[in-house]
Amino acid sequence: MATRVLIAGGGVAALEAALALRKLGEGRVSVEMLAPESQFWYRPLAVAEPFDLGEVKHFDLAELATAAGASFSSGALSGVDAGGRLAHTSAASSISYDVLLVACGAGPTPAVAGALTFRGPADTERMRTLLEEILAGQVGRVAFVVPWGAVWSLPIYELALMTAAYLAERELADVELVLVTPEEAPLRLFGRAGSEAVRQLLEERGIALRTGVRPVELVEGELRLVPEGTIAADRVVALPRLRGPRIDGLPQTVEGFLPVDAHGQVHGLADVFAAGDITSFPVKQGGIAAQQADAAAEMIAANAGADLTPQPFRPVLRGLLLTGRQPRYLRHEITGGGGDVSEASPEPLWWPPAKIVGRYLAPFLGYFAGVESPPEAPAAPGAVPVEVELEAAQIHSLVAVRLELAADPEAEGGATVSEVMSTDPLLVAPEDTLGEVAEKMRAGDTGSALVSDYGRLIGILTSRDLLRAFAGRVHPSEARVREWMTAEPVTVSAATPIEAAVTLMTEYGFHHLPVVDDERPVGMLGLRQATRQARGRIGIGLGL
């Protein structure tokens, strides 16, 4: 009997996976796609809409699913019973599966208070209004901001460059534009050549650049940075911070992302895979989403008996930068220490010269959009194809995934987390049942437990998670900690200054912060104790 694969999602990763499974599954799999929206949105051109340089395309999702060999059901995945292989939907129904692939994407949340958060097509009109206000002379200084966190930063560069081109065409020279980013260099992910090309473009268009800073809010003409500093700005256009949708019964990070292995398998859950923006891979890009979907589809097909050796996910970044004039194509293969190969060229390095590259999806969408595929990809002048394994640590170092606050050297000798943390946190195992942990929490009179696997901290479980699980009517002796914990929690070390820990807790809204030594859990910091200590030291300056 065919393996029943349920794909939750109807975006880039979901469609790429369905197409890959149709090709690789060879009749061994049947695919059902579950998504709440009836359309597939091709979002990359959203940045061009306010300038009338392009428009967002959309396609009927059920039609695409059918053409990709999948059946389509309308609804949102709300919870998973991994043991019973049941997917619960928003329509209060359940779908039985053999393998689940979660490809629900990530939703935008405002990252910079007071900014125009550019989420995509929904913000075209607000961006147009801002351009009108600039033209009317009401706005003289605009900052374009990449927030810290997992984002795809390219769109904000495009918005800044297109704004500059738009203003230059109208001979408005005295508007100050600045691009503000936590990246060490502009578009650092695209490697040296890509980054340099963008830096030059920004310079040519008169856009100032501030790198290595973390903006948090616009207040009275000043963009406030953490831990300190400001940039003058009348208006701020910021990318959103991305969050995965909450799905009960799956180990998600505090940002709602799912940690997966190189084949897309969700840690500790044998029949659950994930691909795309919802995974904890820090680069949220369509091409990457498609590559993850391919890796997961290969593993699923192989498990179903297809004769293939599943290849792990190896990210290759490709990008087409819209500048308002001639587009730039960027390509970067993230190498495992063997060098940094990146290119910037006005010629496309791949076909179709589209903004999202998927092995199966690009030609598929090309067909639907009525674009013919040339027999061969055009050769890129000077292109050097390199394929080297990704080192996860390298990519994490290039992306400001989480807020990190370095110790202030001036504050040496100040209070540290070690002085306030509790040193005997409740430790539980991922395979413990929720019933067992609830009993231990009650006995220890504590509202949280650290989840440790072979001595390494992999999660945190709080009384709020228990409430969520029991409200969802899970059985206390069947549901496991792994399915309900927050995975890969934000942590501090015992040497972290107390003020930095309080800032982290405030920014994230945490009541508990695990303390680790390397990856080993050594303590727990409670918000109340931390703020009491911090207040004692710095008065009311924290505004808590």
Ligand X SMILES: Cc1cc2nc3c(=O)[nH]c(=O)nc-3n(C[C@H](O)[C@H](O)[C@H](O)COP(=O)(O)OP(=O)(O)OC[C@H]3O[C@@H](n4cnc5c(N)ncnc54)[C@H](O)[C@@H]3O)c2cc1C
Contacts of 188 (CB under 8 A, 6+ apart): 195, 398
Question: How many chain residues touch ligand X (CB under 6 A)?
Answer: 35
Near ligand X by CB under 6 A: residue from 103, 160, 344, 403:
103
Question: Is the CA virtual torsion 56, 61, 66, 68 positive or negative?
Answer: positive
149 token code pair:
């966190």
Site for ligand X, residues 225 to 254, rule: CB under 6 A: 245
Q: Kindly tell me which of 272 and 417 has the beta carbon lying closer to ligand X.
A: 272
Q: Kindly tell me which of 354 and 504 has the beta carbon lying closer to ligand X.
A: 354
Distance from C-alpha of 533 to C-alpha of 503, rounded to nearest angstrom = 13
115 is a contact residue toward ligand X (CB under 6 A): no
Residues in the chain: 544
Site string for ligand X, 257-276 (x = CB under 6 A): -------------------x
232 token code pair:
């003058």
Distance from C-alpha of 378 to C-alpha of 306, rounded to nearest angstrom = 32
Which residue, chain included where needed, has tokens 């939750």?
8
CB 318 → ligand X: shortest distance, Å? 8
Site for ligand X, residues 340 to 359, rule: CB under 6 A: 355-356
CB 9 → ligand X: shortest distance, Å? 3
Neighbours of 385 (CB within 10 A): 10
Q: Kindly tell me which of 146 and 450 has the beta carbon lying closer to ligand X.
A: 146
Near ligand X by CB under 6 A: residue from 50, 79, 105, 259:
105
Q: Do the beta carbons of residue 511 and residue 276 sit within 8 Å?
A: no
Q: Kindly tell me which of 44 and 514 has the beta carbon lying closer to ligand X.
A: 44
Name which of 430, 403, 414, 387 is nearest 507 in CA terms. 403
> Looking at 132-140, 280-288, 415-423, 509-517, which segment touches ligand X (CB under 6 A)?
280-288
Q: Do the beta carbons of residue 44 and residue 356 sit within 8 Å?
A: yes
CB 102 → ligand X: shortest distance, Å? 8
Site string for ligand X, 22-51 (x = CB under 6 A): ------------xxxx-----xx-xx----
Name which of 269, 270, 291, 268 is nearest 281 in CA terms. 291
Near ligand X by CB under 6 A: residue from 5, 6, 9, 514:
9
CB 223 → ligand X: shortest distance, Å? 21
Distance from C-alpha of 248 to C-alpha of 79, rounded to nearest angstrom = 4
Distance from C-alpha of 382 to C-alpha of 487, rounded to nearest angstrom = 43
CB 142 → ligand X: shortest distance, Å? 18
Site for ligand X, residues 135 to 174, rule: CB under 6 A: 152, 154-155
Task: State which residue has the least CB distance to ligand X.
Answer: 11
Near ligand X by CB under 6 A: residue from 149, 264, 286, 459:
286
Which residue, chain included where needed, has tokens 């060879």?
26
CB 54 → ligand X: shortest distance, Å? 11
**H-helix or E-strand containing 81?**
strand 77-81
Q: Kindly tell me which of 361 and 500 has the beta carbon lying closer to ligand X.
A: 361
Contacts of 233 (CB under 8 A, 6+ apart): 141, 142, 143, 178, 218, 221, 222, 223
CB 524 → ligand X: shortest distance, Å? 32
Q: Where are the beta strands (DSSP E) in 250-400?
A: 272-274, 316-321, 328-333, 341-345
Q: Interface with ligand X by CB under 6 A: which residues?
A: 8-14, 34-37, 43-44, 46-47, 76-77, 103-105, 120, 152, 154-155, 245, 276-278, 284-287, 289, 355-356
